[in-house]
Amino acid sequence: MKNINPDESDAACRIFRHVNQLAGQYYPRKTVGQIVGYVSANKWIMFPDVAVKSIEEGKEIPYPNVYNSFLDQEVVDNGKGQIDGYVGLTYHNVPAMIWLKQILRSPSKSAEFINILKSFGDEWEVSIIHKTKVGQQDTIPRYKEFEKAVPSTVTAKYLQDTIKESDNFLLHRGDSYPDDGSPVIWSVTVFTIGKETEVNTFDDDVRKVFELFMKALNLKTTI
């Protein structure tokens, strides 16, 4: 991970270890270097499937991951591993979205997945987002919300239809990005459920999203 300073590295370690404690020590003990390897170029922390060793490997995994992100794209905590920022779960690449689409096509699995989403309060937000890489391959992806909803209103058909509609509006390689005309390398629809968190709600929010994460991974192994 480039451009992370020593204070951010220390904060990332506290956050990762605190989240891991809240998740029942899901991850084995990790070094500072290994933890920093889960910090992205735009300063969010990935909490992937236990088998994934770095954010580079995590970019290609065919299933979701938990994330923490920050209000000002600076890795910072309260000294105890709790943050003001965002927490959520995302299907963040093409393989993960293929898997999600398979779940939504299965009557039994889609019903189970929707019931999981509806167990979240409406302070959480379901988002369909365009994730686009422009310019050079090593640039940070850009994110633009396509549509959002609260969990209580979401159905499998809504997700299927909205994801399909989002895919129809994706930019393609060689297109110009509307904001500044940068050349598009690739673009993908991604799915996220998340919420803004703060220090005094962080622990409960993390426990809730890891509950979803574990149930989602169970769907992965049984579809």
Q: What's the pLDDT at 72?
A: 86
Angle (nearest 5°) at CA 90 between 86 and 93? 135
Judge if pTM exceeds 0.85: yes
pLDDT digit string (tens) for the chain, length 223 residues: 457 899 999 999 999 999 999 999 999 999 999 999 999 888 899 999 999 988 888 888 898 999 999 988 899 999 999 999 999 999 999 999 999 999 999 999 999 999 999 999 999 999 999 999 998 766 789 999 999 999 999 999 999 999 999 999 999 999 999 989 999 999 999 999 999 999 999 999 999 999 999 999 988 666 5
Q: What's the pLDDT at 221?
A: 61
Packed helices 156-168 and 107-118: angle between N→C axes, nearest 10 degrees: 100
For residue 176 the two structure tokens come to 């110009």
For residue 154 the two structure tokens come to 């979401």
- φ, ψ of residue 77 to 5 degrees: the values are -135, -170
Contact 126, 102 (CB under 8 A): no
Separation of alpha carbons 63 and 221, rounded Å: 10
Q: What's the pLDDT at 13?
A: 97
Q: What's the pLDDT at 58?
A: 86
